[in-house]
Amino acid sequence: MNIQNTIETKVKEGFLKLYNIEIPSVEFQATRKEFDGDITVVVFPLLRYKKGNPAAIGEDLGNFLKENVSEITNYNVVKGFLNLVIDDAVYSTFFNSIYADNYFGFVTPKAYDKAMMVEYSSPNTNKPLHLGHVRNNLLGYSVAEIIKAAGKKVYKTQIINDRGIHICKSMLAWQKFGHGETPTSTGLKGDKLVGNYYVKFDQEYKKEISALIAEGQTEEEAKKEAPLFVEAQQMLLKWEAGDKEVVALWKEMNAWVYAGFDVTYKNMGVNFDNLYYESNTYLLGKDVVAQGLEKGVFYKKEDGSVWCDLTEDGLDEKIVLRSDGTAVYMTQDIGTAIQRVKDYADVGGMVYTVGNEQDYHFQVLFLILKKLGFDWSQQLHHLSYGMVDLPSGKMKSREGTVVDADELMDEMTTTAKEISEELGKLDGYSEEEKNELYKTIGLGALKYFILKVDPKKRILFDPKSSVDFQGNTGPFIQYTYARIQSIIRKADFDYSKSVTIALHEKEKELLKQLELYPETIQQAAANYSPAVIANYTYDLVKEFNSFYQNVSILGEADLDKKIFRVQLAKKVADTIKTAFLLLGITVPERM
């Protein structure tokens, strides 16, 4: 429905005719519910072009629009707000145009448009995924789906941190204390088994530090000279040298972890189009540094180390190559970004889903890539997000106090089960159906709670309050969807034909909310924010429930009205379903 575009054109035309002044744009907002109208022109911004009484200017424009826009049936002015009443036929035409559109709001990617690559998850292979990874995965996956819906081709990727001293710590602890146990022999997921040995390393390492301090060493000396730490460093050197035994153990234990990750990702409902491994990328970027030196982007210090001076850009100097010629993380990230564009020639930008503690790192990375002359560097975005806290406090992986992702998802399912049983609405369900529903509700609650918050904000996550069937929660929205499915199942008449009726105020409000959906998807994509979709869906559900409480649907005597209301309810349900799919949430047909 392009009525807003029509009105904007006519407001500009009217301003020119009335005052001989050209204006660049017009500001709109939804008409406040206490006033008559459907769309409001905000007059105040126009005062910069035409001095005067805003109410008088509103009256002038209102008269002009009513005379020149057939779809406007009336208007009223409240101070600096021009409220316009739109003909019902506009909304009916709009609804008829979207009713059968299964992809309403979605834009088909254009073949010539560049693709976006969205990176998320990127775990270490020395521990299972935890609550922080949950927010990361849910954000990255959802943003990828939203960008896709907004009309771009998307590749989902991650870089797996499968090398380094932390990986060797788990490997060494398993060698020393594992007695050959495996995921098969213990019944543990591989990522959990390996994570246990990361914790074990830390426990034994602390004992050695305490013993060395007792012998007279300083804490700093003890940390460096503890036998376990020294052995882990030696193991890393052996891995880098290609030692067969170390590499074989590394491959075996990583395989355990990958199998465990796959289970978690499947349960979480996220996926990837391709994977990068740090063991393959950690040497990338060194050639780029040499090229950057020739271009003057980098400079070499006396000790042989290579740096990038970003002080003129408000940042500091950044090392990109150590004096011994080894790369740093920045070098690797520069090389990996370039490699991705080589691997996928249609990639024109990237989104990195990484916590806000890395804000500065990405400022530097994007600036260096820009200085190196890559045009796609203008389309790089750091999807920076805040930490997730629990009522119990912070998490620490090496101490084993993290909130395990699998256990959290299980807890959400259990909580959904307890609350659903208390409400007692599952008569006639088989046990299998009940368990599937508990999982749908539990995961929906978790995902919605996390995604409804602006990514930049820190979250205090309370599992119990997230599984609430009232308020701004996933289960509340899922329940509304299921309620509509119940209405549709009970509709024992043919509601497929197109009808024209005089719209009830509540029907009109619901149509206005539906009208916002395409724009909402574009806004969410532009801001890399699933929260925009989540809160739109909540507003849509609130509007539907107001409609449901004020207007009879199946009890309506007039058949055309009854047909239209079932159609309208169905379209709302379809929109809830597609919006929730953008958040990675499924909706149950019954609840």
**Interacting residues of 310 by C-beta distance below 8 A, sequence separation 6+:** 316, 317, 318, 364, 367, 368
Can you tell me the distance from the alpha carbon of 100 to that of 152, in angstroms, rounded to the nearest whole number? Answer: 23
The arrangement of secondary structure in 405-582, i.e. its CATH architecture, is: Orthogonal Bundle (1.10)
Residue 23 has a pLDDT of 96
| DSSP secondary structure string for all residues of 201-249 | HHHHHHHHHHHHHHTT--HHHHHHH-HHHHHHHHHHHHHHTT-HHHHHH
Per residue in 344-380, pLDDT (tens digit) is 999 999 999 999 999 999 999 999 999 999 999 999 9
Nearest to 370 by CA among 294, 308, 321: 308
How crowded is residue 483: how many other Cβ atoms within 10 Å of its Cβ? 17
Return the structure tokens found at 294.
Answer: 């020739």
Q: Is 424 exposed, middle or buried (0-12, 13-18, 19+ CB in 10 A)?
A: exposed
Can you tell me the distance from the alpha carbon of 421 to that of 96, in angstroms, rounded to the nearest whole number? Answer: 41
CB 518 within 8 A of CB 104: yes
Can you tell me the distance from the alpha carbon of 409 to that of 376, in angstroms, rounded to the nearest whole number? Answer: 38
Can you tell me the distance from the alpha carbon of 568 to that of 591, in angstroms, rounded to the nearest whole number? Answer: 21
| Position 122 pLDDT exceeds 70 | yes
To the nearest whole number, what is the mean pLDDT of the chain? 94
Return the structure tokens found at 387.
Answer: 């930490």
What is the location of CATH 3.30.1360.70 in the chain?
3-86
* Strand runs labelled E in 44-106: 72-78, 81-86
| DSSP secondary structure string for all residues of 450-510 | HHTS-TTS-EE--HHHHS-SSSSSHHHHHHHHHHHHHHHHH--S---S----PPPHHHHHH
Residue 420 has a pLDDT of 84
Residue 526 has a pLDDT of 97
Can you tell me the distance from the alpha carbon of 521 to that of 382, in angstroms, rounded to the nearest whole number? Answer: 20
Per residue in 205-222, pLDDT (tens digit) is 999 999 999 999 999 999
| Position 302 pLDDT exceeds 80 | yes
Per residue in 530-570, pLDDT (tens digit) is 999 999 999 999 999 999 999 999 999 999 999 999 999 99
Counted residue by residue, the chain has a size of 591
| Position 394 pLDDT exceeds 80 | no
Question: Tokens 């355990």 sit at which residue?
Answer: 256
Element (H, E) at 318: strand 317-321
Above pLDDT 70, what percent of the chain? 98
| Position 89 pLDDT exceeds 50 | yes
Read off the pLDDT of each residue in 319-327 and give the average, rounded to a whole number: 91
CB 183 within 8 A of CB 256: yes
Per residue in 422-438, pLDDT (tens digit) is 877 677 888 999 999 99
Residue 401 has a pLDDT of 56
| Position 391 pLDDT exceeds 80 | no
| Position 519 pLDDT exceeds 80 | yes
Confidence at 392, pLDDT banded by 50, 70, 90? low
Mapped onto helix, strand or coil, the DSSP state of residue 403 is coil
Max CA pair span of the chain: 94
Residue 462 has a pLDDT of 82
Per residue in 486-497, pLDDT (tens digit) is 999 999 999 999
Nearest to 192 by CA among 139, 148, 127, 146: 127
What is the location of CATH 1.10.730.10 in the chain?
405-582
Read off the pLDDT of each residue in 454-472 and give the average, rounded to a whole number: 88
| Position 467 pLDDT exceeds 80 | yes
Mapped onto helix, strand or coil, the DSSP state of residue 306 is strand
Tell me the whole-structure pTM to 2 decimals.
Answer: 0.92
Q: Is 94 exposed, middle or buried (0-12, 13-18, 19+ CB in 10 A)?
A: middle
Return the structure tokens found at 148.
Answer: 């896709």
Can you tell me the distance from the alpha carbon of 4 to that of 10, in angstroms, rounded to the nearest whole number? Answer: 10
- In sequence order, the β-bridge partners of residue 40 are 29, 83
Most confident of 428-432, 580-584, 587-591: 580-584
Nearest to 455 by CA among 386, 524, 389, 358: 386
CB 347 within 8 A of CB 341: yes
What's the CATH number for 3-86? 3.30.1360.70
Give the distance from CA 207 to its chain's centroid: 42
| Position 397 pLDDT exceeds 60 | no
Return the structure tokens found at 191.
Answer: 């990522």
Can you tell me the distance from the alpha carbon of 267 to that of 261, in angstroms, rounded to the nearest whole number? Answer: 10
| DSSP secondary structure string for all residues of 319-387 | EEE-TTS-B-HHHHHHHHHHHHHHH-TTEEEEEEEEEGGGHHHHHHHHHHHHHTT-GGGGGEEEEEE--
Residue 422 has a pLDDT of 80
